[in-house]
Amino acid sequence: MKYYVLFGPPGAGKGTQAKEMVEKYNLHHISTGALLRKEIAAGSELGILAKGLIEKGCLVPDEVVEGMIENEFRTVSGVEGFLLDGFPRTLPQAEALDRILAKTSEEVTATVSIMIPDEMIMERIKGRALKEGRADDASEEVINTRIVTYHNQTEPLIEYYTDKGKYNEIDGTGTIEEVRDRIFDLMDKF
């Protein structure tokens, strides 16, 4: 089983690229954002808690996200692997993912990091808010909080996965097709 971590700042195009990656490589896409939005739409206790945190630009507690991820690993079959999008976002989450995978003698196959400059993050997220009507993308203050959170909490994963020989960076600028081709060229090597 292959386990890919799709990595990059908010608005880098992870969700857009994930659809193509899942289809080409027969992967199950695990988007923490989508899992959380499903809970919010259902009005579950987790969804209510998550909604309040997300609207402020904060992260949902690790143990909640980790439980959802581990459940996906256990219950999904008929795929060549998993594509994690939005998890891990912090060093403790990366370590937790390693522990979860170690239970079945598995490990992260590789990270695919789509990188774009901060100015492009703001442009893309504002555009997404208008196009998709996503409240979590509408406020410039929330977007700035997400950018700062990414730099402070998620960027340390670059060193973590580089040290393990699992970090791979893709230039996320250009057309969707150009970025997709770069990703496919990389993934064809695994």
pLDDT band at 184 (very low <50, low <70, confident <90, very high): very high
pLDDT > 90 fraction of the chain, expressed in percent and rounded: 48
The whole-number pLDDT of residue 130 equals 66
pLDDT tens across 54-68, in order? 788 777 788 778 887
- The enclosing H or E element of 157 equals helix 156-163
- Give the integer Cα–Cα distance in Å for 108 and 61: 22
Q: Catalytic one among 51, 124, 128, 182?
A: 128
Inform me whether the pLDDT recorded for 26 exceeds 90. yes
Task: Specify if 173 maps to a domain.
Answer: yes
Task: Read off the DSSP letter of residue 25.
Answer: H
Q: What pTM, to 2 d.p., does this model score?
A: 0.82
Query: In the annotation, is 134 catalytic?
Result: yes
**pLDDT, the chain, mean:** 88
The whole-number pLDDT of residue 105 equals 96
Task: Specify if 48 maps to a domain.
Answer: yes
Task: Specify if 74 maps to a domain.
Answer: yes
CATH code (residue 127): 3.40.50.300
Query: In the annotation, is 89 catalytic?
Result: yes
CA 142 → CA 7, 32, 53, 58, 174, distances in Å? Answer: 20, 18, 11, 9, 25
Query: In the annotation, is 146 catalytic?
Result: yes
pLDDT band at 129 (very low <50, low <70, confident <90, very high): low
- Between 48 and 39, the higher pLDDT residue: 48
- Give the integer Cα–Cα distance in Å for 181 and 59: 31
Task: Specify if 190 maps to a domain.
Answer: no
- Give the integer Cα–Cα distance in Å for 67 and 69: 5
Q: Catalytic one among 14, 51, 124, 180?
A: 14
- Between 117 and 23, the higher pLDDT residue: 23
The parent domain of residue 63 ranges over: 2-179
Inform me whether the pLDDT recorded for 126 exceeds 80. no
Residue 93 structure tokens: 């989450």
In this structure, the strands spanning 81-85 and 27-31 are: parallel
In this structure, the strands spanning 110-115 and 81-85 are: unpaired
Q: Where do we find the tokens 């996200």? A: 65
pLDDT band at 138 (very low <50, low <70, confident <90, very high): low
Q: What's the number of domains the chain is made of?
A: 1
Q: Catalytic one among 89, 124, 180, 182?
A: 89
Query: In the annotation, is 182 catalytic?
Result: no
Q: Catalytic one among 51, 124, 146, 180?
A: 146
Query: In the annotation, is 189 catalytic?
Result: no
Q: Catalytic one among 38, 134, 164, 166?
A: 134
